[in-house]
């Protein structure tokens, strides 16, 4: 009975509820203020980098990549620092001894140190990825089975957007081999097939004339493309191979365009493209007719 009365007095204590109310208001204010600080800081950092990248002195593509990467990293660090500070302030508002908690965390850290090895590895690997400029935001890369455009490089993870729009989040510590397609120029290898009975020399001359016009009409083409010649002869078709050097990651679009244009050129000049054929025989006079399938 006595304990119930003590509990009742404690719960109905006006000072207790005043303290809870003030603490709640402090927590809400701290959290809202931290959100505002993070948003303003990110906008300020982005504004600074935008001014630098769009300044009177044009940046090289490599420098622009690095600027975008550092921008995302700084925004990520700002979020970590501000929200961590907000959590410490909230604990203080709840009358929790933060100094003692941090001291205890050092002791507990010894116990969980082995479990945090992967986290430390992620952070260290992320640091070296940025320091060595292995890849940056906007680069098209391949990490093991994951391929796509880098959206963000954080202290712990890297975000990659795939071809279908999916977002792949990869811990930095698991990144061992990276293929970066965006640093150097790309090479488009295009195979064009013509019928075995066609005039191969005429087809090659038409292709060479067309290739000479590409650098002047398409800025994505770095130098004059090369007709490598006959790549293969199989069945009723002859394969001609073309090599085109393009700006990074432009080889897909250029390949599609070249195939379309060469098809039109062949149609206008009577160069036959191979297609399946079959022989039809008549039983009466054993005459054979060749028909397209």
**HEC secondary structure over the chain:** CHHHHHHHHHHCCHHHHHHHHHHHHHHHHHHHHHHHHHHHHHHHHHHHHHHHHCCCCCCCHHHHHHHHHHHHHHHHHHHHHHHHHHHHHHHHHCCCCHHHHHHHHHHHHHHHCHHHHHHHHHHHHHHHHHHCCCCCCCCEEEECCEEEEEEEECCCEEEEECCCCCEEEEEHHHCCCEEECCCCCEEEEEEEEEECCCCHHHHHHHHHHHHHHHHHHCCCECCCCEEEEEEEEECCEEEEEEEEEECCCCHHHHHHHHHHHHHHHHHHCCCCCCCCEEEEECCCCCCEEEEEC
Give pLDDT, residue 102: 56
Give the pLDDT score at 101.
Answer: 56
Q: Is 167 exposed, middle or buried (0-12, 13-18, 19+ CB in 10 A)?
A: exposed
Supply the pLDDT for residue 263: 92
Of 172, 186, 122, 184, the residue nearest 143 (C-alpha): 172
Question: Running along the chain, 293 residues long, what does each successive block of 10 average in pLDDT?
Answer: 59 66 82 88 81 59 66 78 82 69 53 60 79 82 88 85 89 87 87 88 92 90 90 86 90 91 91 71 55 49
Count CB-CB contacts under 10 A for residue 83: 15
pLDDT of residue 273: 81
The pLDDT value given to residue 9: 60
Rounded to the nearest 5°, which phi and psi values hold at 175?
-85, 110
CA dist., res. 250 & res. 253, Å (int): 6
Of 129, 194, 133, the closest CA to residue 158 belongs to 129
Domains and CATH numbers, the chain: 2-112 (1.10.287.1260), 128-180 (2.30.30.60), 186-277 (3.30.70.100)
Contact 230, 162 (CB under 8 A): no
Tell me what pLDDT residue 154 has.
79
What is the C-alpha radius of gyration for the chain, rounded to an integer number of angstroms? 33
């Amino acid at each position: 009975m006595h304990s119930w009365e003590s509990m009742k007095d404690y719960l109905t204590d006006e000072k207790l509820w005043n303290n809870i109310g003030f603490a709640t208001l402090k927590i809400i204010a701290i959290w809202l203020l931290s959100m505002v600080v993070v948003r303003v800081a990110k906008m300020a950092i982005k504004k600074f980098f935008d001014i630098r990248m769009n300044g009177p002195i044009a940046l090289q593509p490599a420098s622009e990549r690095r600027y975008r990467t550092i921008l995302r990293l700084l925004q990520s660090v700002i979020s970590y620092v501000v929200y961590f500070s907000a959590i410490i302030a909230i604990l203080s508002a709840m009358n929790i001894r933060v100094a003692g908690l941090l001291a205890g965390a050092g002791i507990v850290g010894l116990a969980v140190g082995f479990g945090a090895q992967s986290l430390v590895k992620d952070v260290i690997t992320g640091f070296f990825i940025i320091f060595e400029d292995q890849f940056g935001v906007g680069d098209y890369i391949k990490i093991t089975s994951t391929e796509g455009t880098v959206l963000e490089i954080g202290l712990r993870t890297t975000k990659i957007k795939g071809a279908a729009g999916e977002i792949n989040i990869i811990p930095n510590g698991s990144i061992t081999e990276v293929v970066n397609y965006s640093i150097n120029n790309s090479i488009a290898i295009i195979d064009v097939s013509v019928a075995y009975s066609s005039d191969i020399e005429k087809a090659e001359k038409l292709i060479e004339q067309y290739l000479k016009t590409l650098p002047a009409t398409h800025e994505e083409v770095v130098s004059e493309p090369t007709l490598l010649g006959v790549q293969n002869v199989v069945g009723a078709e002859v394969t001609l191979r073309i090599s085109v050097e393009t700006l990074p990651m432009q080889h897909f679009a250029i390949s599609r365009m070249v195939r379309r244009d060469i098809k039109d050129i062949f149609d206008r000049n009577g160069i036959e493209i191979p297609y399946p054929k079959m022989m039809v025989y008549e039983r009466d006079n054993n005459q054979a007719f060749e028909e397209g399938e």
